[in-house]
Amino acid sequence: MTDMSVIEERYELSCGRIREIAETQEVSEQYKDYFKKTAEFILLTADAYGKVRDGFFTQGRTSIDELRKVNRALYADILDDRYAVSYANPDYACEKLGEELGALLSFLYAELRSMIACAFEEKLEALVIRMELFVEIYNMFEYAKSEAELNNEEPQVPSGNDIRENMYWFVSDYSEPASQQRVGEQLDTERDFAVRIIMESDLNDISYLYRYGEYISPGIEKMAQYLSTLSHERIQMIADTYTEGYRIGFIKGNKDLSKKETVDIRFVLGFERIIKAAIANFAKMGLKPTVYRSRDSIFYKRGTSRTGYYGASANKQYEYDHKDDIALFLDRRLVNRRLEVLRLAYEEYKDKAAKYAGPAVVEVFGETPFSPISKKTACALSKEQQKLSSELMGAQADIVSNYINEEERSFTIIAFPVPDIGDKFEEIFDETVKLNTLDYTTYEQVQATIIDTLNKADYVEIKGMNGNKTDLRVQLYRLNDPEKETKFENCVADVNIPVGEVFTSPVLEGTDGRLHVSRVFLNELEYHDLQIDFKDGMICAYTCANFATDDENKKYIKANVMFNYDTLPMGEFAIGTNTTAYMTAKKYDIESRFPILIAEKTGPHFAVGDTCYSRSEDVRVYNEDGREIVAKDNSVSILRKTDPSKAYFGCHTDITIPYDELGSIIAYDSDKNAYPIIENGRFVLEGTQKLNEAFDDRT
């Protein structure tokens, strides 16, 4: 048990020392500004911590204008043009502090920014360890200067290796409590910081948003304000769609929900009215929520992805610049350390892990598209570190699967627009609600027709048009008993809302060719002219047109699509059927802002990474016609039976070809008989033409 009196004493000592540093910097001239501004930021965070403890953020206590002022001050240094002259910006840090020390000190500044969340959650020890790290690094600079003066030498600074070593042990030593915290947040319903905000606040008074400590943009405020105008009945209907998809996912997956006790709710701030209604719905299923923050710290980062709840992004370039800060420290010893502490954390929570039902996710779309700038000053993984990173990701997934049985859990995902999408936000929101509640019976029947045809086929050819260079052959699984078996799952609105796709795990051997998309957003990052080539189902080449050189483009894809693996398999082939969603995007000119959750239903899509059935291959799943889905494995995933470490990758990224770039999808049987499904972006298979009505209704 942590002695809080000791932690409080360390906190007071750290605050006192940092106040001294803010006032006078006894370091070489070049570094004074860095330590002054960084100390001032820490003190600003400490002030926020004091305000939290004093009830400053309690509803009714402080005006909304004052709350906004405090919130903006905490994020001001990375907002807008201020980022150009912030030490959080590696370009600026390296320019002012030198390349080696600039990279290290920019990392330190970014890590200290994670203190904001610690302050609002009153995690005093997490505040203290970061404050102490800052003081230790400052002392190294102060000592180097004083030693030089004592010896009548030119001003000196500590070596980069010494600073890195100090930071390395911080990252290593505190990996254990960080891992325990993260696993606990996911599994322990008593860690209810966010749940209390949602359930206890007056959600019609948007001041509650400032209790989280996340960056609250005008768009976040507008989202909460808009939902406050909706009737209770409409909010309940939206929440019902979300939670019912979760429940049906267990039924269709042949999984027993009654064994579970915990639902993992993930959302973007502003949606609390829906989340509150959903929590009540989940309670009727016997589930209590865990709602945890998407944390911005070296201990939790995985690229630019965000898991949990979060506010607006204060600066996406900042997030991109620091996504690979672990490159400063990643080695075999740290990989082993992280795996060890993760295993220990899950062992501590193993009883709760067994009762974890899975995530229920509310995604958003409509934010301003982001295409990052690639900076030479930003940390980047070496080739050896890329292999270590991939190994770590796969091994972590293996550990999690040992405690959270994928064959017994499920999930659901639903998406809504945010006000940033434009002046027609409310209209688009209404249209999205309609998309999320489309009658699935029509789609189920049409998709069954497509599946009947695909069950006859040995392979499918997909070709692009209108400049799209896609030319792919996808090999399909061979059925042993077509009367009882099927290759494709008939996906209606359950775990993936809205309705509209059929999907399978393709056979890798014989799956060859090029996938091309002129513009696509994957994991919140934009890609231009993305091309991925496959040989026997494995990625053999890739590029895009985001940057000036092919080398930069390949690095961008490898880091953010391939997660630093040298190759990945095609884990899924699907045909999206939601032409209504596609035409909604066309109507409002928001194709580029659709999340993959909806975009994947608006054309064929191909996933790189694990299959859709990853770690639950042995769960027997059936379509509504009673036929069992048997195409779950490929020649990589089947290694789970002999060498599990080589079977999974811990990633699955969907890439969609829109209908207006789709020349044809044609299935071929063993006698080379052709069965056209789509030609020139229109459904032509008999029994599917009803899907074209959405195209024909275009005005």
Kindly write down the DSSP assignment for every residue of 402-457, as one continuous string: HHS-TTT---EEEEEE-GGG-TTHHHHHHHHHHHHT--HHHHHHHHHHHHHHHTT-
Q: Is the pLDDT of residue 192 over 70?
A: yes
- Residue 686 identity (one-letter amino acid): E
Q: Is the pLDDT of residue 493 over 70?
A: no
Selection from 337, 344, 332, 339 nearest residue 387 by Cα: 332
Q: Is the pTM of this model over 0.85?
A: yes
How far, rounded to the nearest angstrom, does the alpha carbon of residue 237 sit from its chain's CA centroid?
26
Tokens (6 digits) for 288:
């209590």
Mean pLDDT of the chain: 94
Least confident of 144-153, 359-368, 457-466, 637-646: 144-153
Q: Is 669 exposed, middle or buried (0-12, 13-18, 19+ CB in 10 A)?
A: middle
The C-alpha angle 647, 488, 585, rounded to 5 degrees, equals 100
- Residue 666, SS3 per DSSP: strand
pLDDT at position 137, please?
98
DSSP 8-state assignment for residue 293: B
pLDDT at position 170, please?
97
Angle between helices 160-173 and 124-150 (to 10 degrees): 160
How far is it, in rounded angstroms, from Cα 682 to Cα 411?
A: 32
pLDDT at position 151, please?
83
Render pLDDT for 426-447 as a digit per residue (tens, 0 to 9).
999 999 999 998 887 888 999 9
How far is it, in rounded angstroms, from Cα 126 to Cα 115?
A: 7
How far is it, in rounded angstroms, from Cα 112 to Cα 127?
A: 9
**Cβ neighbours of 347 (radius 10 Å):** 13
pLDDT at position 173, please?
97
Length of the chain: 699
Long-range contacts (CB closer than 8 Å, 24 or more residues apart) made by 229-237: 230/273, 235/273, 235/274, 235/277, 236/277, 237/433, 237/437
Tokens (6 digits) for 312:
């607006």
DSSP 8-state assignment for residue 114: T
488 in Cβ contact with 446 (< 8 Å):
no
Q: Of all residues in the chain, what percent carry a pLDDT higher than 90?
A: 85
pLDDT at position 425, please?
96
Selection from 333, 328, 243 nearest residue 289 by Cα: 243
Alpha carbon separation from 117 to 62, 276, 309 (Å, rounded): 20, 22, 12
Selection from 125, 109, 127 nearest residue 117 by Cα: 127
Sheet strands side by side (includes 356-365): 288-290, 262-266, 356-365, 412-417
Q: 79: which strand partners? A: none
pLDDT category at 498 given cuts 50, 70, 90 is confident
How far is it, in rounded angstroms, from Cα 203 to Cα 338?
A: 39
How far is it, in rounded angstroms, from Cα 144 to Cα 159?
A: 9
